Structure 1
Amino acid sequence: MEVLDLKGKKALVTGGTKGIGKAIADQLAKSGAEVIVSARTQPAESPYHFIAADLTNPTDVANLTQTISEAYGGIDILINNVGGLTTPGGGFSTLTDEHWEQELQLNLISAIRLDKALLPQMIKQGSGVIIHISSIAGKLPLWDLNLAYAVSKAALNSYSKALATELASKGVRVLTVAPGATKTEMMENFIKDYAASAGISVEEGVNHLLTQIGGIPMGRMAEPEEVASLVRFLVSPSAAYLTGAIYSIDGGSLPVVS
Protein backbone atom coordinates (compact mmCIF):
# COMPACT_ATOMS: atom_id res chain seq x y z
CA MET A 1 0.00 0.00 0.00
CA GLU A 2 1.29 3.49 -0.85
CA VAL A 3 2.10 5.63 2.17
CA LEU A 4 -0.47 8.26 1.16
CA ASP A 5 -3.13 5.74 0.14
CA LEU A 6 -6.53 6.56 1.65
CA LYS A 7 -8.57 3.85 -0.04
CA GLY A 8 -11.42 2.65 2.14
CA LYS A 9 -11.41 5.83 4.23
CA LYS A 10 -14.44 8.09 4.54
CA ALA A 11 -13.70 11.80 4.90
CA LEU A 12 -15.86 14.82 5.72
CA VAL A 13 -14.57 18.23 4.66
CA THR A 14 -16.53 21.17 6.03
CA GLY A 15 -16.55 24.27 3.86
CA GLY A 16 -15.51 21.86 1.13
CA THR A 17 -17.01 23.55 -1.92
CA LYS A 18 -14.40 26.25 -2.58
CA GLY A 19 -10.99 27.57 -1.65
CA ILE A 20 -8.82 25.51 0.68
CA GLY A 21 -11.72 23.18 1.51
CA LYS A 22 -12.31 22.20 -2.11
CA ALA A 23 -8.59 21.69 -2.67
CA ILE A 24 -8.49 19.37 0.35
CA ALA A 25 -11.53 17.42 -0.86
CA ASP A 26 -9.89 16.98 -4.26
CA GLN A 27 -6.57 15.80 -2.77
CA LEU A 28 -8.25 13.29 -0.46
CA ALA A 29 -10.36 11.93 -3.32
CA LYS A 30 -7.27 11.53 -5.52
CA SER A 31 -5.72 9.47 -2.72
CA GLY A 32 -8.71 7.13 -2.76
CA ALA A 33 -10.89 8.45 0.06
CA GLU A 34 -14.67 8.61 -0.22
CA VAL A 35 -15.33 12.32 0.29
CA ILE A 36 -18.33 14.08 1.78
CA VAL A 37 -18.47 17.87 1.76
CA SER A 38 -20.64 20.31 3.66
CA ALA A 39 -21.30 24.03 3.33
CA ARG A 40 -24.15 26.43 3.88
CA THR A 41 -24.94 26.71 0.18
CA GLN A 42 -25.00 23.90 -2.36
CA PRO A 43 -22.69 24.48 -5.33
CA ALA A 44 -23.96 24.31 -8.91
CA GLU A 45 -22.21 20.96 -9.20
CA SER A 46 -19.98 18.80 -7.03
CA PRO A 47 -18.32 15.42 -7.59
CA TYR A 48 -18.81 14.61 -3.91
CA HIS A 49 -21.75 13.82 -1.66
CA PHE A 50 -22.89 17.27 -0.54
CA ILE A 51 -24.78 17.89 2.71
CA ALA A 52 -26.03 21.42 3.39
CA ALA A 53 -25.24 22.58 6.93
CA ASP A 54 -24.65 25.78 8.86
CA LEU A 55 -22.28 24.51 11.54
CA THR A 56 -23.07 27.45 13.82
CA ASN A 57 -26.57 25.94 14.08
CA PRO A 58 -26.83 22.94 16.47
CA THR A 59 -29.82 21.54 14.57
CA ASP A 60 -27.88 21.51 11.29
CA VAL A 61 -24.98 19.72 12.99
CA ALA A 62 -27.36 17.10 14.36
CA ASN A 63 -28.89 16.58 10.91
CA LEU A 64 -25.45 16.36 9.28
CA THR A 65 -24.32 13.78 11.82
CA GLN A 66 -27.48 11.70 11.38
CA THR A 67 -27.18 11.76 7.58
CA ILE A 68 -23.56 10.60 7.74
CA SER A 69 -24.39 7.88 10.27
CA GLU A 70 -27.25 6.52 8.16
CA ALA A 71 -25.39 6.71 4.84
CA TYR A 72 -21.86 5.76 5.88
CA GLY A 73 -21.94 4.49 9.45
CA GLY A 74 -19.46 7.21 10.41
CA ILE A 75 -16.23 8.69 9.08
CA ASP A 76 -12.50 8.12 9.41
CA ILE A 77 -11.27 11.63 8.61
CA LEU A 78 -12.77 14.95 9.68
CA ILE A 79 -11.45 18.19 8.22
CA ASN A 80 -12.82 21.15 10.18
CA ASN A 81 -12.24 23.78 7.52
CA VAL A 82 -15.26 26.04 8.07
CA GLY A 83 -14.25 29.47 9.30
CA GLY A 84 -13.51 32.97 8.21
CA LEU A 85 -12.92 36.60 9.06
CA THR A 86 -16.34 38.24 9.28
CA THR A 87 -15.79 41.14 11.68
CA PRO A 88 -14.51 44.68 11.00
CA GLY A 89 -10.99 45.88 11.60
CA GLY A 90 -10.08 48.91 13.66
CA GLY A 91 -9.28 47.40 17.02
CA PHE A 92 -11.19 46.67 20.21
CA SER A 93 -13.45 49.73 20.09
CA THR A 94 -15.05 48.67 16.80
CA LEU A 95 -16.03 45.21 18.01
CA THR A 96 -19.39 44.60 19.67
CA ASP A 97 -20.41 41.63 21.81
CA GLU A 98 -22.21 40.31 18.74
CA HIS A 99 -19.02 40.51 16.68
CA TRP A 100 -17.10 38.48 19.25
CA GLU A 101 -19.87 35.90 19.53
CA GLN A 102 -20.13 35.62 15.75
CA GLU A 103 -16.41 35.01 15.28
CA LEU A 104 -16.17 32.50 18.12
CA GLN A 105 -19.18 30.56 16.87
CA LEU A 106 -17.80 30.32 13.33
CA ASN A 107 -14.13 29.64 14.05
CA LEU A 108 -14.21 27.73 17.33
CA ILE A 109 -17.60 26.49 18.54
CA SER A 110 -18.58 25.01 15.16
CA ALA A 111 -15.52 22.73 15.25
CA ILE A 112 -16.10 21.79 18.90
CA ARG A 113 -19.74 20.98 18.17
CA LEU A 114 -18.98 18.78 15.16
CA ASP A 115 -16.09 17.00 16.90
CA LYS A 116 -18.35 16.13 19.80
CA ALA A 117 -21.00 14.75 17.45
CA LEU A 118 -18.67 12.56 15.37
CA LEU A 119 -16.02 11.50 17.89
CA PRO A 120 -17.99 8.73 19.65
CA GLN A 121 -17.97 6.62 16.49
CA MET A 122 -14.24 7.23 15.92
CA ILE A 123 -13.47 6.23 19.52
CA LYS A 124 -15.65 3.14 19.17
CA GLN A 125 -13.75 1.98 16.07
CA GLY A 126 -10.41 2.89 17.69
CA SER A 127 -9.16 5.08 14.87
CA GLY A 128 -9.66 8.43 13.19
CA VAL A 129 -8.00 11.72 12.28
CA ILE A 130 -9.28 15.22 12.95
CA ILE A 131 -7.66 18.23 11.29
CA HIS A 132 -8.52 21.75 12.43
CA ILE A 133 -7.77 24.42 9.83
CA SER A 134 -6.57 27.42 11.82
CA SER A 135 -4.48 30.41 10.72
CA ILE A 136 -1.14 32.01 11.48
CA ALA A 137 -3.30 34.83 12.84
CA GLY A 138 -3.66 32.64 15.93
CA LYS A 139 0.04 33.23 16.57
CA LEU A 140 0.38 36.62 14.86
CA PRO A 141 -2.72 38.73 15.63
CA LEU A 142 -3.12 42.08 13.89
CA TRP A 143 -5.11 44.37 16.15
CA ASP A 144 -6.27 46.70 13.36
CA LEU A 145 -7.26 43.95 10.90
CA ASN A 146 -8.36 40.69 12.50
CA LEU A 147 -8.50 40.94 16.30
CA ALA A 148 -11.58 38.79 16.95
CA TYR A 149 -10.64 36.32 14.21
CA ALA A 150 -7.11 35.93 15.58
CA VAL A 151 -8.39 35.35 19.11
CA SER A 152 -10.86 32.71 17.89
CA LYS A 153 -8.10 30.89 15.99
CA ALA A 154 -5.76 31.03 19.00
CA ALA A 155 -8.54 29.42 21.04
CA LEU A 156 -8.96 26.76 18.34
CA ASN A 157 -5.24 25.99 18.54
CA SER A 158 -5.46 25.49 22.31
CA TYR A 159 -8.60 23.37 22.08
CA SER A 160 -7.05 21.20 19.36
CA LYS A 161 -3.94 20.54 21.46
CA ALA A 162 -6.00 19.58 24.52
CA LEU A 163 -8.28 17.32 22.47
CA ALA A 164 -5.27 15.59 20.93
CA THR A 165 -3.91 14.77 24.37
CA GLU A 166 -7.25 13.40 25.52
CA LEU A 167 -7.72 11.18 22.45
CA ALA A 168 -4.17 9.95 21.83
CA SER A 169 -4.66 6.74 23.79
CA LYS A 170 -7.96 6.05 22.00
CA GLY A 171 -6.48 5.78 18.52
CA VAL A 172 -7.71 9.18 17.30
CA ARG A 173 -5.18 11.75 16.11
CA VAL A 174 -5.86 15.51 16.21
CA LEU A 175 -3.74 18.03 14.33
CA THR A 176 -3.88 21.70 13.39
CA VAL A 177 -2.90 23.29 10.09
CA ALA A 178 -2.35 27.06 10.16
CA PRO A 179 -2.13 28.62 6.69
CA GLY A 180 -0.75 32.07 6.09
CA ALA A 181 -1.92 34.30 3.26
CA THR A 182 -3.50 31.99 0.68
CA LYS A 183 -4.89 32.85 -2.76
CA THR A 184 -8.57 32.17 -2.28
CA GLU A 185 -11.74 34.03 -3.17
CA MET A 186 -12.20 34.82 0.53
CA MET A 187 -8.74 36.43 0.71
CA GLU A 188 -9.38 38.43 -2.46
CA ASN A 189 -12.67 39.75 -1.09
CA PHE A 190 -11.06 40.61 2.26
CA ILE A 191 -8.33 42.63 0.55
CA LYS A 192 -10.83 44.42 -1.71
CA ASP A 193 -13.04 45.33 1.26
CA TYR A 194 -10.07 46.46 3.33
CA ALA A 195 -8.71 48.60 0.48
CA ALA A 196 -12.13 50.18 -0.10
CA SER A 197 -12.60 51.03 3.59
CA ALA A 198 -9.08 52.49 3.78
CA GLY A 199 -9.48 54.46 0.55
CA ILE A 200 -6.50 52.80 -1.10
CA SER A 201 -5.97 50.63 -4.16
CA VAL A 202 -6.18 46.84 -4.04
CA GLU A 203 -2.44 46.65 -4.74
CA GLU A 204 -1.77 48.98 -1.81
CA GLY A 205 -4.07 46.83 0.31
CA VAL A 206 -2.04 43.71 -0.55
CA ASN A 207 1.23 45.50 0.24
CA HIS A 208 -0.13 46.75 3.57
CA LEU A 209 -1.34 43.30 4.58
CA LEU A 210 2.00 41.69 3.71
CA THR A 211 3.85 44.44 5.57
CA GLN A 212 1.70 43.83 8.64
CA ILE A 213 2.71 40.18 8.78
CA GLY A 214 6.36 40.99 8.14
CA GLY A 215 6.31 40.00 4.49
CA ILE A 216 6.49 36.53 2.98
CA PRO A 217 10.11 35.38 2.52
CA MET A 218 9.07 33.09 -0.34
CA GLY A 219 7.63 36.14 -2.12
CA ARG A 220 4.09 34.92 -2.80
CA MET A 221 0.87 33.72 -1.24
CA ALA A 222 0.18 30.01 -0.91
CA GLU A 223 -1.94 28.13 -3.40
CA PRO A 224 -4.88 26.23 -1.85
CA GLU A 225 -3.46 23.02 -3.31
CA GLU A 226 -0.27 23.48 -1.28
CA VAL A 227 -2.23 23.61 1.96
CA ALA A 228 -4.23 20.58 0.80
CA SER A 229 -1.04 18.60 0.16
CA LEU A 230 0.01 19.09 3.78
CA VAL A 231 -3.42 17.97 5.01
CA ARG A 232 -3.29 14.93 2.73
CA PHE A 233 0.02 13.88 4.29
CA LEU A 234 -1.17 14.45 7.87
CA VAL A 235 -4.24 12.21 7.49
CA SER A 236 -2.23 9.45 5.79
CA PRO A 237 -0.56 6.38 7.33
CA SER A 238 2.80 8.18 6.88
CA ALA A 239 1.81 10.55 9.70
CA ALA A 240 0.65 7.82 12.09
CA TYR A 241 2.85 9.06 14.97
CA LEU A 242 1.83 12.72 14.66
CA THR A 243 -0.76 14.26 16.95
CA GLY A 244 -1.21 17.47 18.91
CA ALA A 245 1.04 19.59 16.68
CA ILE A 246 0.32 22.84 14.84
CA TYR A 247 1.74 23.03 11.33
CA SER A 248 2.17 26.55 9.95
CA ILE A 249 2.24 26.77 6.16
CA ASP A 250 3.04 30.41 5.50
CA GLY A 251 6.06 30.73 3.21
CA GLY A 252 8.18 31.66 6.23
CA SER A 253 5.98 34.56 7.41
CA LEU A 254 6.01 33.88 11.14
CA PRO A 255 8.96 35.89 12.50
CA VAL A 256 9.46 33.61 15.51
CA VAL A 257 10.53 30.05 16.21
CA SER A 258 7.30 28.08 16.61
Structure 2
Amino acid sequence: MGTERDRLDGRRALVTGGSKGAGKAVVERLREMGADVYTTARTMPDGYDRPDRFVAADTATAAGTDAVARRISEEGPLDILVHVVGGASTPTGGFAVITDEQWLVELNLNLLGAVRLDRALVPAMVEAGSGVVLHVTSIQRELPLYDASLAYAAAKAALRTYSKGLANELAPRGVRVTAVSPGGIETEAYEQFVDRIAEGNGLTRDGAKQLIFDSLGGVPLGRFARPEEIADLIGFLVSDRATAVVGAEYVIDGGTVPTV
Protein backbone atom coordinates (compact mmCIF):
# COMPACT_ATOMS: atom_id res chain seq x y z
CA MET A 1 0.00 0.00 0.00
CA GLY A 2 1.34 3.43 -0.99
CA THR A 3 2.32 6.05 1.55
CA GLU A 4 3.34 9.69 1.39
CA ARG A 5 6.86 8.56 0.58
CA ASP A 6 5.52 7.20 -2.72
CA ARG A 7 3.86 10.50 -3.62
CA LEU A 8 5.19 13.62 -5.34
CA ASP A 9 2.27 15.93 -4.66
CA GLY A 10 3.19 19.61 -4.76
CA ARG A 11 6.51 19.01 -6.53
CA ARG A 12 7.53 20.52 -9.86
CA ALA A 13 9.39 18.26 -12.26
CA LEU A 14 11.00 18.59 -15.67
CA VAL A 15 11.61 15.58 -17.92
CA THR A 16 13.68 16.07 -21.06
CA GLY A 17 12.94 13.99 -24.13
CA GLY A 18 9.44 13.45 -22.79
CA SER A 19 7.46 13.25 -26.02
CA LYS A 20 7.97 9.54 -26.70
CA GLY A 21 9.63 6.34 -25.55
CA ALA A 22 11.06 6.14 -22.06
CA GLY A 23 10.74 9.89 -21.55
CA LYS A 24 7.01 9.80 -22.20
CA ALA A 25 6.65 6.91 -19.77
CA VAL A 26 8.55 8.85 -17.10
CA VAL A 27 6.27 11.87 -17.56
CA GLU A 28 3.22 9.67 -17.13
CA ARG A 29 4.65 7.92 -14.08
CA LEU A 30 5.59 11.14 -12.26
CA ARG A 31 2.16 12.58 -12.98
CA GLU A 32 0.56 9.44 -11.54
CA MET A 33 2.63 10.07 -8.41
CA GLY A 34 1.20 13.58 -8.13
CA ALA A 35 3.96 15.78 -9.56
CA ASP A 36 3.37 18.84 -11.71
CA VAL A 37 5.41 17.68 -14.70
CA TYR A 38 6.85 19.81 -17.47
CA THR A 39 8.53 18.22 -20.44
CA THR A 40 10.60 19.28 -23.39
CA ALA A 41 11.40 17.89 -26.82
CA ARG A 42 12.06 19.38 -30.21
CA THR A 43 8.43 19.07 -31.34
CA MET A 44 5.21 18.88 -29.37
CA PRO A 45 3.22 15.79 -30.43
CA ASP A 46 -0.11 16.39 -32.15
CA GLY A 47 -2.95 16.52 -29.65
CA TYR A 48 -0.63 16.71 -26.64
CA ASP A 49 -2.86 16.79 -23.55
CA ARG A 50 -0.86 19.38 -21.55
CA PRO A 51 0.45 22.00 -24.00
CA ASP A 52 0.89 24.43 -21.09
CA ARG A 53 3.45 22.04 -19.65
CA PHE A 54 5.39 21.47 -22.88
CA VAL A 55 8.46 23.45 -23.98
CA ALA A 56 9.37 22.89 -27.63
CA ALA A 57 13.17 23.17 -27.77
CA ASP A 58 16.28 21.33 -28.89
CA THR A 59 18.28 20.77 -25.71
CA ALA A 60 21.27 19.70 -27.78
CA THR A 61 21.81 23.42 -28.45
CA ALA A 62 22.69 26.22 -26.05
CA ALA A 63 19.74 28.26 -27.36
CA GLY A 64 17.41 25.34 -26.67
CA THR A 65 18.54 24.84 -23.08
CA ASP A 66 18.30 28.59 -22.51
CA ALA A 67 14.69 28.57 -23.73
CA VAL A 68 13.78 25.67 -21.45
CA ALA A 69 15.50 27.24 -18.45
CA ARG A 70 13.72 30.56 -18.96
CA ARG A 71 10.31 28.89 -19.14
CA ILE A 72 10.87 26.67 -16.11
CA SER A 73 12.41 29.43 -13.97
CA GLU A 74 9.38 31.68 -14.42
CA GLU A 75 7.60 29.83 -11.63
CA GLY A 76 10.44 29.17 -9.22
CA PRO A 77 12.83 26.29 -8.56
CA LEU A 78 12.29 22.73 -9.67
CA ASP A 79 12.06 19.85 -7.24
CA ILE A 80 12.92 17.14 -9.78
CA LEU A 81 14.99 17.24 -12.99
CA VAL A 82 15.18 14.08 -15.10
CA HIS A 83 17.42 14.00 -18.17
CA VAL A 84 16.10 11.32 -20.54
CA VAL A 85 16.88 12.86 -23.91
CA GLY A 86 19.60 11.09 -25.86
CA GLY A 87 20.29 8.93 -28.85
CA ALA A 88 22.73 7.85 -31.53
CA SER A 89 22.75 8.85 -35.19
CA THR A 90 26.27 7.84 -36.20
CA PRO A 91 26.52 5.87 -39.46
CA THR A 92 27.84 2.32 -39.44
CA GLY A 93 31.46 1.65 -40.29
CA GLY A 94 33.44 1.94 -37.08
CA PHE A 95 35.56 4.68 -35.57
CA ALA A 96 37.15 5.90 -38.79
CA VAL A 97 33.90 7.13 -40.35
CA ILE A 98 32.91 9.31 -37.38
CA THR A 99 33.62 12.92 -38.34
CA ASP A 100 34.29 15.78 -35.95
CA GLU A 101 30.82 17.08 -36.76
CA GLN A 102 29.21 13.76 -35.80
CA TRP A 103 31.20 13.59 -32.57
CA LEU A 104 29.87 17.03 -31.64
CA VAL A 105 26.31 16.00 -32.51
CA GLU A 106 26.52 13.05 -30.11
CA LEU A 107 28.27 15.01 -27.35
CA ASN A 108 25.78 17.88 -27.51
CA LEU A 109 22.77 15.55 -27.42
CA ASN A 110 23.97 13.06 -24.82
CA LEU A 111 26.21 15.11 -22.53
CA LEU A 112 26.34 18.87 -22.98
CA GLY A 113 22.58 19.38 -23.05
CA ALA A 114 22.34 17.96 -19.53
CA VAL A 115 25.39 19.93 -18.39
CA ARG A 116 23.92 23.22 -19.65
CA LEU A 117 20.46 22.58 -18.23
CA ASP A 118 21.88 21.60 -14.84
CA ARG A 119 23.98 24.76 -14.81
CA ALA A 120 20.87 26.83 -15.47
CA LEU A 121 18.37 25.11 -13.16
CA VAL A 122 20.22 23.38 -10.33
CA PRO A 123 21.51 26.54 -8.55
CA ALA A 124 17.89 27.37 -7.62
CA MET A 125 17.56 23.87 -6.12
CA VAL A 126 20.73 24.44 -4.13
CA GLU A 127 19.41 27.77 -2.89
CA ALA A 128 16.17 26.07 -1.85
CA GLY A 129 18.18 23.34 -0.10
CA SER A 130 16.41 20.41 -1.76
CA GLY A 131 15.88 18.66 -5.07
CA VAL A 132 16.66 15.59 -7.13
CA VAL A 133 18.56 15.39 -10.43
CA LEU A 134 18.62 12.14 -12.40
CA HIS A 135 20.70 11.43 -15.50
CA VAL A 136 19.85 8.58 -17.82
CA THR A 137 23.15 7.06 -18.98
CA SER A 138 23.54 3.72 -20.81
CA ILE A 139 25.18 0.35 -20.36
CA GLN A 140 27.16 1.29 -23.46
CA ARG A 141 29.43 3.27 -21.17
CA GLU A 142 30.65 -0.21 -20.13
CA LEU A 143 29.79 -2.23 -23.24
CA PRO A 144 30.25 0.17 -26.16
CA LEU A 145 29.04 -0.96 -29.57
CA TYR A 146 31.74 0.20 -31.94
CA ASP A 147 29.88 -0.19 -35.24
CA ALA A 148 27.30 2.61 -35.05
CA SER A 149 27.26 4.10 -31.58
CA LEU A 150 30.82 4.58 -30.34
CA ALA A 151 30.44 8.35 -30.03
CA TYR A 152 27.15 7.86 -28.17
CA ALA A 153 28.80 5.38 -25.79
CA ALA A 154 31.68 7.76 -25.10
CA ALA A 155 29.27 10.63 -24.43
CA LYS A 156 27.26 8.51 -22.00
CA ALA A 157 30.44 7.50 -20.18
CA ALA A 158 31.26 11.17 -19.79
CA LEU A 159 27.71 11.84 -18.54
CA ARG A 160 28.14 9.18 -15.86
CA THR A 161 31.43 10.67 -14.65
CA TYR A 162 29.92 14.15 -14.63
CA SER A 163 26.86 12.87 -12.74
CA LYS A 164 28.99 11.23 -10.04
CA GLY A 165 31.07 14.36 -9.50
CA LEU A 166 27.95 16.53 -9.37
CA ALA A 167 26.41 14.18 -6.79
CA ASN A 168 29.40 14.54 -4.51
CA GLU A 169 29.34 18.32 -4.80
CA LEU A 170 25.60 18.78 -4.25
CA ALA A 171 24.68 16.16 -1.62
CA PRO A 172 25.92 18.29 1.32
CA ARG A 173 23.76 21.12 -0.02
CA GLY A 174 20.51 19.14 -0.06
CA VAL A 175 20.33 18.11 -3.71
CA ARG A 176 20.53 14.42 -4.63
CA VAL A 177 21.98 13.33 -7.97
CA THR A 178 21.59 9.78 -9.25
CA ALA A 179 21.74 7.94 -12.57
CA VAL A 180 19.90 5.14 -14.33
CA SER A 181 21.76 2.99 -16.86
CA PRO A 182 19.39 1.18 -19.22
CA GLY A 183 20.31 -1.51 -21.63
CA GLY A 184 18.14 -1.75 -24.68
CA ILE A 185 14.66 -0.25 -24.41
CA GLU A 186 11.80 -1.23 -26.68
CA THR A 187 11.17 2.23 -28.17
CA GLU A 188 10.75 3.82 -31.60
CA ALA A 189 14.38 4.98 -31.41
CA TYR A 190 15.50 1.38 -30.87
CA GLU A 191 13.52 0.25 -33.90
CA GLN A 192 15.21 2.97 -35.97
CA PHE A 193 18.60 1.80 -34.67
CA VAL A 194 17.72 -1.73 -35.81
CA ASP A 195 16.91 -0.35 -39.26
CA ARG A 196 20.32 1.37 -39.45
CA ILE A 197 22.15 -1.80 -38.43
CA ALA A 198 20.14 -3.87 -40.91
CA GLU A 199 20.79 -1.47 -43.78
CA GLY A 200 24.46 -1.02 -42.96
CA ASN A 201 25.12 -4.75 -42.74
CA GLY A 202 22.77 -6.13 -45.38
CA LEU A 203 20.63 -7.97 -42.83
CA THR A 204 16.95 -8.49 -42.16
CA ARG A 205 15.49 -6.70 -39.13
CA ASP A 206 15.44 -9.97 -37.19
CA GLY A 207 19.05 -10.55 -38.17
CA ALA A 208 19.96 -7.03 -37.05
CA LYS A 209 18.27 -7.56 -33.67
CA GLN A 210 20.18 -10.79 -33.18
CA LEU A 211 23.42 -9.02 -34.11
CA ILE A 212 22.69 -6.38 -31.46
CA PHE A 213 21.97 -9.04 -28.83
CA ASP A 214 25.11 -10.94 -29.79
CA SER A 215 27.26 -7.80 -29.70
CA LEU A 216 26.11 -7.28 -26.11
CA GLY A 217 27.03 -10.84 -25.17
CA GLY A 218 23.37 -11.81 -24.94
CA VAL A 219 20.45 -10.59 -22.84
CA PRO A 220 19.59 -13.21 -20.19
CA LEU A 221 16.05 -11.88 -19.74
CA GLY A 222 15.45 -12.54 -23.43
CA ARG A 223 14.14 -9.06 -24.18
CA PHE A 224 14.93 -5.41 -23.66
CA ALA A 225 13.21 -3.34 -20.98
CA ARG A 226 9.88 -1.69 -21.63
CA PRO A 227 9.58 2.10 -21.21
CA GLU A 228 7.25 1.73 -18.24
CA GLU A 229 9.82 -0.41 -16.43
CA ILE A 230 12.39 2.36 -16.79
CA ALA A 231 9.79 4.84 -15.53
CA ASP A 232 9.04 2.75 -12.44
CA LEU A 233 12.71 2.76 -11.42
CA ILE A 234 13.03 6.50 -11.98
CA GLY A 235 9.82 7.13 -10.05
CA PHE A 236 11.33 5.33 -7.07
CA LEU A 237 14.65 7.15 -7.27
CA VAL A 238 13.12 10.63 -7.30
CA SER A 239 10.74 9.80 -4.45
CA ASP A 240 11.28 9.97 -0.71
CA ARG A 241 11.77 6.20 -0.76
CA ALA A 242 15.30 6.90 -2.02
CA THR A 243 16.41 9.79 0.17
CA ALA A 244 19.73 8.09 1.01
CA VAL A 245 20.55 7.22 -2.61
CA VAL A 246 23.27 9.61 -3.81
CA GLY A 247 25.67 9.25 -6.73
CA ALA A 248 24.57 5.70 -7.51
CA GLU A 249 23.93 4.38 -10.99
CA TYR A 250 21.17 1.78 -11.24
CA VAL A 251 21.50 -0.68 -14.12
CA ILE A 252 18.27 -1.93 -15.72
CA ASP A 253 19.31 -4.16 -18.60
CA GLY A 254 17.80 -7.63 -18.25
CA GLY A 255 21.16 -8.98 -17.08
CA THR A 256 23.15 -7.81 -20.10
CA VAL A 257 26.16 -6.47 -18.21
CA PRO A 258 28.01 -9.38 -16.57
CA THR A 259 28.47 -8.73 -12.85
CA VAL A 260 29.52 -10.74 -9.82
> 2:9 aligned with 1:7, yes or no?
yes
Q: How many percent of aligned residue pairs carry the same amino acid? A: 48
Selected match of 1:51 from 55, 60, 63: 55
Contact 2:62 2:116 in 1 (8 A): yes
Paired residue for 1:36? 38
How much does 1:95 deviate? Answer: 0.7
What pairs up with 1:1-258 in 2 under 5 angstroms? 1-48=3-50, 49-70=53-74, 72-257=75-260
- Stretch moving more, 211-220 or 231-240: 211-220
Contact 2:92 2:196 in 1 (8 A): no
Contact 2:59 2:65 in 1 (8 A): yes
Q: Report the 3-state secondary structure (helix = DSSP H, G, I; strand = E; otherwise coil) of the residue aligned with 1:3.
A: helix
Listed one character per residue, the Cα deviations across residues 138-181 of structure 1 (whole Å, up to 9, x for unaligned) are 11112223111110000000000000000010100011101101
- CA-atom RMSD in angstroms: 1.0
TM-score (norm 1): 0.97
Contact 1:89 1:147 in 2 (8 A): no
TM-score (norm 2): 0.96
Count of matched residue positions in the alignment of Structure 1 and Structure 2: 256
- Stretch moving more, 23-32 or 145-154: 145-154
Q: Report the 3-state secondary structure (helix = DSSP H, G, I; strand = E; otherwise coil) of the residue aligned with 1:107.
A: helix
Ranges of 4+ aligned residues in structure 1 off by more than 6 Å: none
How much does 1:101 deviate? Answer: 1.0
How much does 1:99 deviate? Answer: 1.1
Listed one character per residue, the Cα deviations across residues 4-25 of structure 1 (whole Å, up to 9, x for unaligned) are 1100111000010100000000
- Stretch moving more, 144-153 or 159-168: 144-153
- Stretch moving more, 142-151 or 246-255: 142-151
- Stretch moving more, 155-164 or 82-91: 82-91
Give the aligned residue type for 1:34. Answer: D
How much does 1:252 deviate? Answer: 0.4
Q: Equivalents in 2 of 1:194, 1:252: separation in Å? A: 23
- Stretch moving more, 229-238 or 50-59: 50-59
